[in-house]
Chains A and B, each alone.
Chain A
Amino acid sequence: DAMVIQNPRYQVTQFGKPVTLSCSQTLNHNVMYWYQQKSSQAPKLLFHYYDKDFNNEADTPDNFQSRRPNTSFCFLDIRSPGLGDAAMYLCATSSPGGSDEQFFGPGTRLTVL
């Protein structure tokens, strides 16, 4: 089945230790999104790629970076995680000109010790 896959599902890191989360998709969608979702809150868009064009939200901290080496993969790099970065990180994809639906992955739960 076509889908959005996130690895790992759970990630534990130490304060200040860089961490990378990965997302892959088999939907061949042009757009990939990264969201941060804290407990009992709505997903908050960090950035998105339209093909290789990177779009950063104005309030996304510099601590968060992203890479998209090809259509299928997208990575979220957190350079120096703080305790406040503990959250669920969601990857999503969409295909402009299609149904506008965003397809979400299962998320990666990040714990910062």
Chain B
Amino acid sequence: QQQVKQSPQSLIVQKGGISIINCAYENTAFDYFPWYQQFPGKGPALLIAIRPDVSEKKEGRFTISFNKSAKQFSLHIMDSQPGDSATYFCAASAAYGGSQGNLIFGKGTKLSVKP
């Protein structure tokens, strides 16, 4: 129940295309859903995050779509650029309970954007 399932494992997109990464969760106590971007040899950096009270959040070329009833959320990268090539992790955490604030990560998606 603590798992966050992420797909696909890898993704190749042409420059200018749309990259879509999906995540699903089971624990209805989760109330914070961030996406982290990680470049090789670097620590993860927060890209964008959403809470269950909204169905979509957009920041520049990055959009999170959230479906509370389906317990799914996704990251859309519009106009994908070669500089977006990185590994993307979805995550979830709950504000309350024994694991308060602890992030549960998906397994990651390696995105390659071809010029």
Say yes or no: B42 contacts A100, CB within 8 Å.
no
What A residues does B105 contact at CB under 8 A? 42-43
Q: Which of B101, B105, B110 lies at the interface centre, i.e. has the most chain A CB atoms within 10 A of its CB?
A: B101
B93 within 8 A of A: yes
Q: Which of A48, A90, A103, A104 lies at the interface centre, i.e. has the most chain B CB atoms within 10 A of its CB?
A: A104
- A43, A48, A96, A109: the one within 8 Å of B44 (CB): A43
A-B CB pair tally, cutoff 8 Å: 50
Size of the B side of the interface (Cβ < 8 Å), in residues, is: 22
Judged by DSSP, the binding face of B is loop
Q: In the complex, A102→B44 CA distance in Å?
A: 9
Given A90-B43, A96-B101, the answer on whether A42 and B89 have CB atoms closer than 8 Å is yes
A82 within 8 A of B: no
B102 within 8 A of A: yes
Within 8 A of A (CB), among B9-49: 32, 34, 36, 41-46, 49
What A residues does B108 contact at CB under 8 A? 40-42
Say yes or no: B101 contacts A100, CB within 8 Å.
yes
A45 within 8 A of B: yes
Given A41-B107, A42-B106, A42-B107, the answer on whether A104 and B43 have CB atoms closer than 8 Å is yes
Say yes or no: A107 contacts B42, CB within 8 Å.
yes
Chain B interfacial positions (CB closer than 8 Å to A): 32, 34, 36, 41-46, 49, 89, 93, 95, 100-103, 105-108, 110
8 more contacts with CB within 8 A, not counting A33-B102, A43-B103, A100-B101, are: A42-B106, A43-B44, A43-B89, A45-B103, A100-B34, A101-B34, A104-B44, A105-B43
Closest 4 CB pairs of A and B: A104-B43, A42-B105, A100-B32, A107-B43
